[in-house]
Each structure stands twice: as structure tokens, then as C-alpha cells.
């Protein structure tokens, strides 16, 4: 059985990846929306987004909306594969517990 992805398995990063995976076919998620969905603080969220970005699991997009800076994130193809594999591993573990 494959191992759990330690980058994704951390609780906040799992919530982040779940939110971004759920919106994979939509526009990138705004930082404030991600913050509301995950109930994370600014600093904590920023730190975990950076970790996932360095792994190639998400892309961070910075631009301006009018004159206001805007940070958005979206899951990458690599991140989608990693997330699906992680969820598959969790399902396998659950099924083993039912056996």
C-alpha cells in the first residue's frame, strides 16, 4: 500500500487541498475565501500555502484588483494527482479497518 503524503496529511494542508481540489475547474480561490473555508489565521495559512507551492501542489497567483493587491491559489495537475493518491490511501486504510 502506498504511504500517506505527509505534506497533505497535516490537517490544515488537507483542508486547503480539499478546498482547492473541489474548485479545480473554477477560478483560483481568493486568499480571504480560503481563510474562511479553512478557519486559519493569515500567518498560518500563508505558511502552509508556501509549503504546498514549493512542493508544486498549488500555484499562487498575485495580482491587483483595482489598486488592492490580491493573492489567489489553485491546485496544479501535480497537486491533483497527489491529492487523489492521498485520498485513495485513506480509503484503503478505512477498508482494511472494516475487514
Give residue 16's pLDDT: 96
Q: What is the DSSP string of 30-42?
A: EHHHHHHHHT--H
Answer yes or no: is pLDDT of 14 > 60. yes
Answer yes or no: is pLDDT of 64 > 90. yes
Place of cell 485520498: 87
Domain ranges of the chain: 6-98
The verdict on domain 6-98 having CATH code 1.10.10.10 is yes
Nearest-10 crossing angle of helices 11-22, 77-98? 120
H-type alpha helices, 1-99: 6-9, 11-22, 31-38, 42-54, 77-98
Answer yes or no: is pLDDT of 1 > 60. no
User: pLDDT confidence of 96, banded at 50, 70, 90?
Assistant: confident
Q: Average pLDDT of the chain? A: 93
Quote the pTM value: 0.90
Amino acid at each position: 500500500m502506498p504511504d500517506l503524503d505527509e505534506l497533505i496529511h497535516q490537517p490544515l494542508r488537507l483542508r486547503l487541498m480539499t478546498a482547492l481540489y473541489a474548485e479545480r475547474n473554477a477560478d483560483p480561490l481568493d486568499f480571504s475565501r480560503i481563510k474562511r473555508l479553512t478557519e486559519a489565521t493569515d500567518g498560518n495559512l500563508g505558511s502552509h500555502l508556501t509549503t504546498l507551492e514549493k512542493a508544486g501542489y498549488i500555484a499562487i497567483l498575485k495580482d491587483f484588483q483595482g489598486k488592492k493587491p490580491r493573492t489567489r491559489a489553485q491546485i496544479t495537475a501535480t497537486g491533483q494527482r497527489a491529492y487523489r493518491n492521498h485520498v485513495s490511501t485513506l480509503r484503503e486504510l478505512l477498508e482494511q479497518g472494516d475487514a
